[in-house]
């Protein structure tokens, strides 16, 4: 997977930067928790922060004006800010929210589905979100000329496929003829599916439209184990996630060889700022991954770990790096 | 009122030439089929068509006034997308009436190479709003969109009203509780998913283990999906239809094994202006296809003649019930009692 050209470049020069992106908070956190969290992110090594509610339209602890205000604060702290659209668009209200995101001119917007592509194309700098089905270079080319600046690869893509789709040596050109940046899901529970049905409400025996926001008490989602008690998936409202945290901290050279420019770290309720600092240290000061990962469970970071998708294996598989 | 009704096309599954004959002979307006490879979302051993079979199937269908739609609804592989492009070329060469597509790469190829080819947007493209459909229509000339099985009747009506192209909905068959084209649960466990391999919960990853007490474990990729008591009926361990533990309670946490059946909604679907109703089940037998097609043909014909007086006939209901997963039916998202 590593090309000779890349290896020699690494040996002569400082390591190519792998920027850190804080993905949108996928859980239903109270307003104060969200504001505290982003105050911490402002002082973190993250370069980019993606803001917005992408899972459930009923979650409104922060609304668009709040997200915009938060975005400005993070921008003042030196962060690049991206607004994210909802992953599953069903209603006219959902479409109106995307329209409002398209009308603002302060931030780039990450498209969560084809509705967003239709409403955002050519109007704002566009990030191609991880839930768009871009599985080949031909598909990426189809999306690049919508004004795209960055592509977040689908979660199930292996790194060698990522390199084929947006090759480091001849990247696909996006908005303004600039090379399209590649981002991959490098830390966090993986969003594996979306439904209109809320599985959290279903578990609690309440209707979706009068759910009482029961998911507010699941800061890292609601664990769903197999019948023999093994952690398997996590219910997060209409989204179903892996219980295991995908972690590519030990894959720095493979990530660089695949032309990856930034790593998406998906927030968890506890220990996340330390995870950010650890990624920064390991990636840019050539630290070792294993010792820092061993320390994470004590901080409350969820586990176990998986890195199979990057290697053409089941996503839940874990290989020591 | 009846002048406002649109009589929907009945679109039936063909996993084999025999099933295609059954569907056409039982009154399908169109059949859909796929090639024997990963370019379609029912990439199962022993299923689907080689070139000669497509040619035979097209001749049989066209001879009886039915259309043949080819499903090319997985995503072209990063390492070698050419099988997807060749499949599109074949659809044209073999006389298919339309291609059912999900991948923008495939759509772009078709626009460039086969501008006359009719394109239907597959359910795997996950278009859940009129804006999403318009994206594919304006860029690729899509002429019909198949809606994911997640919208309510009211939302379907809204999409039909605001779209300039035909809308197809699912009428009967297995039910995905997740939005089609946006589910990688299967690859998380097995490495293979609908998007990357045209399969979900593949049989090659299933293991059955009988325990000493007579209970049976069904595992997928090593994960315990369900555990059946000695006397309990067993279902196939489709990942989202197993029993799991949440807060110490064992339950069907995602979806119970059940099938979609919207026959009683036919007059409403017709009033909404749905252009086509799709029957799921390319993996099912020719007998299933024949019986289900016959029931739906007669129901659509009766609903068209007398929408106000329409109700599914007992014989139709019985046929559909006998083919339902877990022998149970639901109106799925169309009704959404859980909302």
Q: What is the DSSP letter of B76?
A: -
Q: Is A77 exposed, middle or buried (0-12, 13-18, 19+ CB in 10 A)?
A: middle
Q: Which residue has the tokens 């390199």?
A: A163
Q: pLDDT band at residue B44, thresholds of 50, 70 and 90? A: confident
Q: What's the gap in Å between the CA of A1 and the closest CA on chain B?
A: 13
**Over residues B46-56, mean pLDDT:** 94
Query: By the CB < 8 Å criterion, does B66 face chain A?
Result: no
Reduced 3-state DSSP string for A49-93: EEECCCCCCCCCCCCHHHHHHHHHHHHHCCCEEEEECCCCCCCHH
Give the whole-angstrom CA distance, residue A8 versus residue A3.
9
The CA-atom distances, in angstroms, between A287 and each of A44, A274, A281 are: 18, 14, 6
- Parse chain B into domains and list their residue ranges: 9-175+258-334, 189-252
Chain B: residue whose CA lies nearest to A136: B78
The highest-level CATH class for domain B9-175+258-334 is alpha beta
Give the whole-angstrom CA distance, residue A99 versus residue A301.
36
**Over residues B286-313, mean pLDDT:** 95
Q: Which residues of B touch A208 (CB under 8 A)?
A: 338-339
Q: What ipTM does this complex have?
A: 0.94
Q: pLDDT band at residue A303, thresholds of 50, 70 and 90? A: confident
For chain A, what percent of residues have pLDDT higher than 90? 90
**Over 80: is that where the pLDDT of B99 sits?**
yes
Query: By the CB < 8 Å criterion, does A20 face chain B?
Result: no
The CA-atom distances, in angstroms, between A319 and each of A2, A160, A308, B108, B192 are: 18, 16, 7, 38, 18
Q: Dihedral sign for Cα A148, A122, A79, A23, please.
A: negative
Who among B128, B190, B245 is closest to A225 (CB)? B245
Who among A98, A193, A209 is closest to B185 (CB)? A193
Concatenate the DSSP letters of all residues of A247-276 into one string. E-GGGHHHHHHTT--EEEE---SSSHHHHH
- What residues of chain A, 179 to 218, have a C-beta less than 8 Å from chain B? 190, 192-197, 199, 201-203, 207-209
Tokens found for residue B53 = 């079979």
**Over 70: is that where the pLDDT of A8 sits?**
no
Q: Which residues of A touch B77 (CB under 8 A)?
A: 135-136, 161
**Over residues B222-233, mean pLDDT:** 94
Q: pLDDT band at residue A115, thresholds of 50, 70 and 90? A: very high
Inter-chain CB pairs, A–B, below 8 Å: 210
Tokens found for residue B8 = 């929907």
State residue A7's pLDDT score.
41
Q: What's the gap in Å between the CA of B76 and the closest CA on chain A?
A: 6
Residues contacting residue B269 through CB under 8 Å, at least 6 positions apart = B8, B153, B156, B169, B171, B262, B277
Q: Which residues of B touch A139 (CB under 8 A)?
A: 75-76, 103-105
**Over residues B181-201, mean pLDDT:** 95
**Over 70: is that where the pLDDT of B320 sits?**
yes
Read off the pLDDT of residues B131-187 as tens digits, 9 standing for 90 and up.
Answer: 999 999 999 999 999 998 888 889 999 999 999 999 999 999 988 889 999 999 999
State residue A13's pLDDT score.
53
Q: pLDDT band at residue B327, thresholds of 50, 70 and 90? A: low
**Over residues B178-200, mean pLDDT:** 94
- Parse chain A into domains and list their residue ranges: 7-193+246-301
State residue B331's pLDDT score.
75
Q: Which residue has the tokens 């998936």?
A: A233
Give the whole-angstrom CA distance, residue B17 versus residue B50.
10
Query: By the CB < 8 Å criterion, does A228 face chain B?
Result: yes
Tokens found for residue A104 = 């603002």
Q: What is the pTM of this model?
A: 0.94
Q: pLDDT band at residue B297, thresholds of 50, 70 and 90? A: very high
Task: Identify the CA nearest to B261 among candidates B309, B328, B307.
Answer: B328
Chain B: residue whose CA lies nearest to A162: B78
**Over 60: is that where the pLDDT of A5 sits?**
no
Task: Identify the CA nearest to B229 among candidates B247, B248, B250.
Answer: B250
Read off the pLDDT of residues A146-188 as tens digits, 9 standing for 90 and up.
Answer: 999 999 999 999 999 999 999 999 999 998 999 999 999 999 9
Residues contacting residue A91 through CB under 8 Å, at least 6 positions apart = A57, B155
**Over 50: is that where the pLDDT of A65 sits?**
yes
Higher pLDDT, B37 or B110: B110
State residue B151's pLDDT score.
85
Residue B125 near residue B117 (C-beta atoms within 8 A): no
**Over 80: is that where the pLDDT of B4 sits?**
no
**Over residues A184-198, mean pLDDT:** 96
Residue A22 near residue A50 (C-beta atoms within 8 A): yes
Q: pLDDT band at residue B338, thresholds of 50, 70 and 90? A: low
**Over residues A52-68, mean pLDDT:** 97
Residue B256 near residue B233 (C-beta atoms within 8 A): no
Q: Which residues of A touch B177 (CB under 8 A)?
A: 195, 197
**Over residues B197-220, mean pLDDT:** 94
Residue B10 near residue B263 (C-beta atoms within 8 A): no
Who among B151, B178, B187 is closest to A315 (CB)? B187
Containing A231, the helix (H) or strand (E) segment is: strand A231-236
Q: pLDDT band at residue A11, thresholds of 50, 70 and 90? A: very low
Mean pLDDT across chain A, nearest whole number?
A: 94
**Over 90: is that where the pLDDT of B328 sits?**
no
Containing A4, the helix (H) or strand (E) segment is: helix A4-12
Read off the pLDDT of residues A205-240 as tens digits, 9 standing for 90 and up.
Answer: 999 989 999 999 999 999 999 999 999 999 999 999
Superfamily of domain A7-193+246-301: Aldolase class I (3.20.20.70)
């Amino acid at each position: 997977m590593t090309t000779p050209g890349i290896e020699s470049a690494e040996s002569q020069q400082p390591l190519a930067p792998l920027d850190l992106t804080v993905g949108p908070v996928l859980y239903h956190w109270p307003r104060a928790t969200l504001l505290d969290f982003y105050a911490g992110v402002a002082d973190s090594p993250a370069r980019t922060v993606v803001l917005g509610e992408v899972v459930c339209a009923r979650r409104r602890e922060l609304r668009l004006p709040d997200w915009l205000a938060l975005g400005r604060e993070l921008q003042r702290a030196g962060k690049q800010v991206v607004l994210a659209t909802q992953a599953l668009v069903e209603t006219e209200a959902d479409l109106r929210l995307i329209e409002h995101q398209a009308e603002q001119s302060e931030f780039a917007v990450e498209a969560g589905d084809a509705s967003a592509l239709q409403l955002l194309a050519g109007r704002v700098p566009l990030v191609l979100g991880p839930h768009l089905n871009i599985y080949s270079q031909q598909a990426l080319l189809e999306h690049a000329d919508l004004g795209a600046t960055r592509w977040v690869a689908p979660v199930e893509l292996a790194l060698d496929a990522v390199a084929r789709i947006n090759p480091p040596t001849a990247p696909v050109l996006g908005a303004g003829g600039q090379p399209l940046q590649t981002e991959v899901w490098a830390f966090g529970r993986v969003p594996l599916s979306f439904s209109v049905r809320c599985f959290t409400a279903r578990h609690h025996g309440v209707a979706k439209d009068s759910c009482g926001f029961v998911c507010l008490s699941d800061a890292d989602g609601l664990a769903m184990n197999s019948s023999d008690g093994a952690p398997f998936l996590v219910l997060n409202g209409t989204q179903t996630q892996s219980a295991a945290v995908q972690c590519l901290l030990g894959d720095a050279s493979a990530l660089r060889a695949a032309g990856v420019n930034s790593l998406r770290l998906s927030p968890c309720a506890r220990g996340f700022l330390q995870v950010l600092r650890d990624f920064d240290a390991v990636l840019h000061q050539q630290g070792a991954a294993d010792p820092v990962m061993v320390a994470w469970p004590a901080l409350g970071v969820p586990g176990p770990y998986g890195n199979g998708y990057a290697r053409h294996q089941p996503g839940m598989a874990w290989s020591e790096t | 009122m009846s002048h406002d009704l649109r009589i929907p096309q009945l679109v039936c599954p063909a996993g084999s030439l025999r099933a295609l004959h059954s569907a056409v002979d039982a009154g399908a307006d169109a059949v859909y089929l796929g090639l024997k490879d990963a370019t379609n979302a029912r990439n199962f051993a022993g299923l689907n068509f080689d070139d000669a079979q497509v040619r035979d199937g097209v001749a049989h269908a066209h001879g009886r006034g039915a259309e043949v739609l080819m499903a090319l609804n997985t995503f072209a592989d990063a390492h070698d997308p050419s099988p997807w492009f060749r499949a599109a070329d074949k659809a044209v060469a073999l006389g298919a009436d339309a291609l059912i597509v999900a991948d923008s790469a495939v759509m772009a190829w078709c626009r460039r190479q086969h501008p006359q080819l009719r394109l239907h947007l597959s359910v795997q493209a996950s278009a859940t709003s009129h804006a999403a459909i318009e994206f594919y229509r304006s860029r690729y000339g899509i002429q019909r969109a198949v809606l994911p099985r997640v919208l309510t009747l009211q939302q379907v009506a809204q999409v039909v009203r605001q779209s300039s192209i035909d809308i197809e909905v699912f009428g009967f068959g297995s039910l995905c509780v997740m939005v089609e084209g946006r589910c990688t649960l299967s690859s998380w466990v097995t490495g293979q998913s609908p998007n990357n391999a045209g399969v979900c919960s593949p049989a090659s990853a299933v293991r059955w283990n009988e325990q000493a007490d007579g209970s049976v474990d069904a595992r997928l990729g090593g994960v315990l999906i369900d555990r059946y008591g000695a006397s309990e009926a067993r279902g196939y361990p489709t990942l989202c239809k197993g029993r799991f533990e949440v807060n110490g309670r064992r339950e069907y946490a995602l979806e119970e094994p059940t099938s979609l059946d919207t026959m009683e909604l036919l007059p409403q679907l017709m009033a909404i202006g749905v252009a086509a109703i799709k029957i799921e089940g390319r993996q099912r037998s020719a007998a299933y296809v024949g019986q289900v097609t016959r029931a739906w043909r007669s129901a659509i014909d009766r609903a068209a003649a007398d929408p106000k007086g329409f109700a599914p006939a007992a014989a139709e209901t019985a046929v559909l019930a006998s083919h339902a997963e877990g022998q149970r039916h639901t109106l799925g998202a169309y009704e959404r009692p859980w909302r």
